[in-house]
Amino acid sequence: MIFNPAAGKIRRNPELILQRTIEALRGVSLKPRVLTTRGPGEATALANQAIAEGADLVLVFGGDGTINEAANGMVNSRVPLAALPGGTANVLTMELGLGNRLERAIERLEDCVERRVALGRLTDARGASRYFLMMGGAGLDAKIVYDLNPDLKARTGKLAYWVTGFSQIAHPLEEFEVKVGGEVYRCGFALAARVCNYGGDLAIACGASLTSDEFEIVLFEGANPLRYAWYMLGVLGRRVQSMRGVRTLRARSVQLAGSVHLQIDGEYAGRSPACFEIGPGTLTLLMPPTYG
């Protein structure tokens, strides 16, 4: 089990939460060896190490960023990855239906099955690449991640994202060009999604699925920040894809021009130009048999 003591739901009392988690896992006949992260990026090496040492399951107890790091250390391995909700948003566990409550998620692991899923890959202008499991974003949401105050996030959780988002209202958005399937579109926010869930309790790409070999791509037109406040009302009402100025596409790759902020799986990932694509790597993921 890769354990991130700095994750959103864990950081206030990591020792007690870890003890409680191990006891709950024993109740479903899992006795993990705990590998604790000590800083950003370490989960990739720990996942790789676990596989090399013969692990038959890599269980990640942290946030979506920790899951992303572990997945990058497990590309093309047959060892399954499973996730427990320990972060601020817990997009993956919410997407899979494991929920946001630790003990309930552990109980549901017993019924999960192994499935192979495709991964997204971000490649930047220098040719450097990184895999992602859930989503890649360009423009507005990545700017929010870039501007996010980590201390505020530690104190308030998801509220910090809303506060940072509303702070963008005073500034026009950077627009950029997106190329999908030979067509070029102009927008202020682009999302290439592998999951319906967004932020833990919202939905933007309602037709996305981890079992698909394509992204669901949602493009938002315009530079006026008030327009994005209107789009957000559509997200809250689960009708955003029917709104004027919102376009939904399906494709295996997205080319991003200009110079805008990027995020993958909720973590800051630099600036464009770049490409989101369905990568050649795959991952074995433990998920409920009813998913998809």
Residue-level pLDDT at 34:
97
Q: Which of 111, 130, 160 is the last residue of a domain?
A: 111
Within 8 A by CB and 6+ apart from 26, the residues are: none
- From 280, 262, 279, select the one nearest 271 (Cα to Cα): 262
End-to-end CA distance of the chain: 26
pLDDT above 80: residue 292:
no
Residue-level pLDDT at 149:
80
- From 291, 256, 251, 288, select the one nearest 274 (Cα to Cα): 256
Token pair recorded at residue 234 = 């559509």
Residue-level pLDDT at 148:
83
Confidence of residue 77 (pLDDT cuts 50, 70, 90): very high
pLDDT above 80: residue 211:
yes
Cis, peptide link before residue 150, omega less than 30° from 0: no
pTM reported for the whole predicted model: 0.93
Same domain assignment for residues 195 and 84: no
* The dihedral sign for the CA sequence 161, 285, 136, 273: positive
Residue-level pLDDT at 255:
97
Within 8 A by CB and 6+ apart from 23, the residues are: none
Could you tell me if residue 288 is inside a domain? no
Same domain assignment for residues 161 and 256: yes
Long-range Cβ pairs for the range 107-113 (8 Å, 24+): 107/28, 108/288, 109/28, 109/30, 109/82, 109/286, 110/28, 111/288, 111/289, 112/82, 112/286, 112/287, 112/288, 112/289, 113/286, 113/287, 113/288, 113/289
**Alpha-carbon gap, residue 160 to 28, rounded angstroms:** 35
Could you tell me if residue 285 is inside a domain? no
Same domain assignment for residues 136 and 229: yes
Tell me: the pLDDT tens digits for 87-127? 988 999 999 999 999 999 999 999 999 999 999 999 999 99
Same domain assignment for residues 140 and 212: yes
Within 8 A by CB and 6+ apart from 256, the residues are: 138, 176, 177, 178, 190, 262, 272, 273, 274, 275, 276
Q: Which of 111, 133, 161 is the last residue of a domain?
A: 111
Same domain assignment for residues 106 and 126: no
Q: Which of 78, 111, 144 is the last residue of a domain?
A: 111
Same domain assignment for residues 63 and 141: no
- From 84, 63, 67, 71, select the one nearest 119 (Cα to Cα): 71
Token pair recorded at residue 72 = 């990058």
Residue-level pLDDT at 118:
95
pLDDT above 90: residue 278:
yes
Where residue 68 falls (left for φ over 0; alpha for ψ -120 to 50; beta otherwise) is alpha
Could you tell me if residue 234 is inside a domain? yes
**Alpha-carbon gap, residue 59 to 75, rounded angstroms:** 15
Could you tell me if residue 48 is inside a domain? yes
Residue 108 amino acid letter: R
Domain count, the chain: 2
Query: DSSP class of residue 32?
Result: P
Task: Output the domain CATH number for residue 146.
Answer: 2.60.200.40
Residue 112 CA neighbour count, 13 Å, CB half: 25
Confidence of residue 37 (pLDDT cuts 50, 70, 90): very high
pLDDT above 80: residue 283:
yes
**Alpha-carbon gap, residue 196 to 203, rounded angstroms:** 5
As a whole number, mean pLDDT of residues 7-31 equals 93
Could you tell me if residue 287 is inside a domain? no
Same domain assignment for residues 78 and 144: no
Q: What is the average pLDDT value for the chain, to the nearest integer?
A: 93
Tell me: the pLDDT tens digits for 166-209? 888 778 899 999 999 999 999 999 999 999 999 888 899 999 99
Pairing of strands 189-193, 183-187: unpaired
Task: Output the domain CATH number for residue 15.
Answer: 3.40.50.10330
Same domain assignment for residues 193 and 146: yes
Token pair recorded at residue 70 = 């572990």
Could you tell me if residue 290 is inside a domain? no
Same domain assignment for residues 98 and 209: no
Tell me: the pLDDT tens digits for 234-259? 998 889 999 999 999 999 999 999 99
Tell me: the pLDDT tens digits for 120-164? 999 999 999 999 999 999 999 999 899 888 887 777 877 777 788
Tell me: the pLDDT tens digits for 42-65? 999 999 999 999 999 999 999 999
Residue numbers of the domain that contains 249 = 120-280
Same domain assignment for residues 58 and 198: no
The answer to whether the beta carbons of residues 246 and 231 sit under 8 Å apart is: yes
Could you tell me if residue 291 is inside a domain? no
Same domain assignment for residues 59 and 89: yes
Range with lowest mean pLDDT among 1-5, 150-154, 210-214, 235-239: 150-154
Same domain assignment for residues 104 and 139: no
Could you tell me if residue 49 is inside a domain? yes
